[in-house]
Amino acid sequence: MLRGQSRKKDQVRPVKITRNYTKYAEGSVLIEVGDTKVLCNASIEEKVPPFLKGKSEGWITAEYNMLPRSTQTRKVRDISKLKIDGRTMEIQRLIGRALRTVVDLKALGEKTIWIDCDVIQADGGTRTTAITGSFIALVDAVNKLHKENPFKIYPIRNFVTAISVGIVDDEILLDLCYEEDSKAMVDMNIVMTDEGEYIEVQGTGEQKSFSRNTLNELLDLAEKGIKQMIHMQKESLKMDSLWIGTGGVID
């Protein structure tokens, strides 16, 4: 089966990662996965939320937003509704959880790293794309701190990325675009580390239920996509990823 962009069913969309995309953020990445484009900025604050004060521990939190014409019809800004919609809240919590899971927050110290994800153009997989790009922005921000004042323990322990899988017209597909996602009978988002461990599995039978065997097939395909995305993260970071998982300093 060939899909849009001449993709096979087990193939991710073309990925382009541009680091240092904005001038002021400690880490900044424009990530493009197919026609989905997300700007991820990482900002460092020398303070923590009230519940962490005095605990010698840091925090990572995320905000997610879709620009009004990132979609085919204009999306109303949350600020105009004076509240964050449920989908936005769910996604930004997911991004924050994914990143915190692979970071030693005590090693980070009393700092907060804000991750701002703005969807410039949406064509499916915005949450998974945001996680993939945010990790690279986080690494750049942490490395900036590390080069200025080396951590006793380098805080980033693992790579993390995410991918979607689903069943469309009875075919199991990897990395769904919007057209595929909108008619998927089963839809899943998987967040994993480079060690093959799961952080989050979001799976829904949209139009049909699915068996344990089908679930295993979906997870196997997702793992294949995760490996591809982590490879692209490493290619983008190159030498700047050498500290990850070492817990120490590399000269």
Q: Would you list which residues are annotated within the binding site for phosphate?
A: 87, 125-127
- CB 33 within 8 Å of CB 72: no
**182 HSE (CA, 13 A, CB side):** 6
Per-residue tokens: 3: 């899909």
Contact assessment for residue 17 and residue 133, using Cβ atoms and an 8 Å cutoff: yes
Q: From the CB of residue 24, how many other CB atoms can be counted at a distance below 10 Å?
A: 7
User: Distance (Å, rounded) from C-alpha 77 to C-alpha 152?
Assistant: 42
Question: For residue 108, what is the DSSP state?
Answer: H
Question: Which pair of structure tokens corresponds to residue 79?
Answer: 């600020």
User: What is the chain's Cα-based Rg?
Assistant: 18
Q: Which residues pair with 201 in a beta bridge?
A: 190
Type of residue found at 15: V
The annotation places the binding site at 87, 125-127
State CA 163 to chain mean position distance: 9
Residue of 116, 128, 100 whose CA lies nearest to 64: 116
- Does residue 160 come out as left (phi exceeding 0), alpha (psi in the -120 to 50 range) or beta? beta
Helix (H) or strand (E) holding 141: helix 126-148
